[in-house]
Amino acid sequence: REQARLKAGVLERDTEQWQKDPNFAGLERVGGVDLSYVKGDDTSACASLVVLSYPALEVLYEDCRMVAVTAPYVPGFLAFREVPFLVEAVQRLQQEKPRLRPQVCRVSFGSLLAGFGVACHLGVLTDLPCVGVAKNLLQVDGLVRDELHKEQIRSLQRSGDTFPLTGTSGRVLGMVSIYNNSSKPLYVSVGHRVSLDTAVRLVRCCCRYRIPEPIRQVRRQGLRGEAGLRQ
């Protein structure tokens, strides 16, 4: 019931003026969040948040806290296990350096592609525009990584080429795209307060390499946190 209530609050459209500008004029800060688990331990994790400048993509703020994850993993309800720690990271930033609050967050997990994933959950609770980015296809609503899907991926020739992910329900759940001429695709989907077209453009504009820079940097932050714990 709680998930259904939160899902009803998701906005699948652009709500900010900068989103409507072809060059994202007015966008100055982009964020990335991630919860990475210590290898071999599904209860110890590093909750990380980074904020980067835009368009330079230079790190402005980093926060990494080791947390004890106690909620059980239930398929379809991962956000209830992980999002509270990410919300706390956003709240700390708001309290300590409110001027660095990101104008949009990238989340390295499914969003509407997952039905109601971490990006949606975090977006609704923090009121931040959020985009979900994944490296692998989440097989929901009839989506499968079959030969047709592989052929569609092979048809992507240039950076920014895309094709839609349409479920058996007929709903477009996300977009598949390649960036920086990588042969490996990314799966982009809506989290909250952003349209799918804008989400795809945002990811493209934040890619120095294959992975969007906010997600690449937040994962590096998480790895440093885990290394510190092991020491």
Quick: pLDDT tens for 40-54: 888 999 999 999 999
What is the per-residue pLDDT for 156? 92
For residues 13, 18, 21, 27, the Cα torsion angle rounded to the nearest 10 degrees is: -130
107 within 8 A of 87, measured Cβ to Cβ: no
Tell me what pLDDT residue 141 has.
86
Is the residue at 19 inside a domain?
no
**Total tally of structural domains belonging to the chain:** 1
Residue 39 domain flag: yes
- The CATH number covering residue 56 comes to 3.30.2170.10
What is the 8-class DSSP label of residue 142? T
On whether residue 223 sits in a domain, the answer given is yes
- Higher-scoring residue by pLDDT: 92, 116: 92
- Non-local CB neighbours of 229 within 8 Å, separated by 6+ positions: 38, 44, 46, 66
86 part of a folded domain: yes
DSSP 103: S
Distance (Å, rounded) from C-alpha 92 to C-alpha 42? 24
User: Is 96 exposed, middle or buried (CB count within 10 Å of its CB: 0-12, 13-18, 19+)?
Assistant: exposed
Q: Model confidence at 222, in pLDDT bands (50, 70, 90)?
A: confident
- Please determine, for residue 19, whether its predicted confidence score (pLDDT) is greater than 70: yes
pLDDT at residue 116 tops 80: no
pLDDT at 76: 79
Q: Tell me which residue range forms the domain holding 217.
A: 27-228
| Band of pLDDT at residue 73, cut at 50, 70 and 90 | confident
**pLDDT at residue 224 in the model:** 73
Identify whether 13 is part of a domain.
no
**Domain membership flag for residue 8:** no
pLDDT at site 206: 95
Give percent of the chain above pLDDT 70: 94
| pLDDT tens-place string over residues 103-114 | 999 887 665 676
Does the residue 9 lie in any domain?
Answer: no
pLDDT of 98 higher than 60:
yes
Please tell me what DSSP assigns to residue 168.
T
Instruction: Kindly report, residue by residue over 132-174, the tens digit of the pLDDT.
Output: 999 888 888 889 999 999 999 999 988 889 999 999 999 999 9
Is residue 51 within 8 Å of residue 61, measured between CB atoms?
A: yes
Does the structure show a pLDDT above 90 at 221? Answer: no
15 is a domain residue? no
**pLDDT at residue number 197:** 96
d(CA 220, CA 79): 22
Greater model confidence, 226 or 183: 183
For residue 231, is pLDDT > 60?
Answer: no
* Predicted confidence (pLDDT) at residue 179 exceeds the cutoff of 80: yes
pTM, two decimals, is 0.92
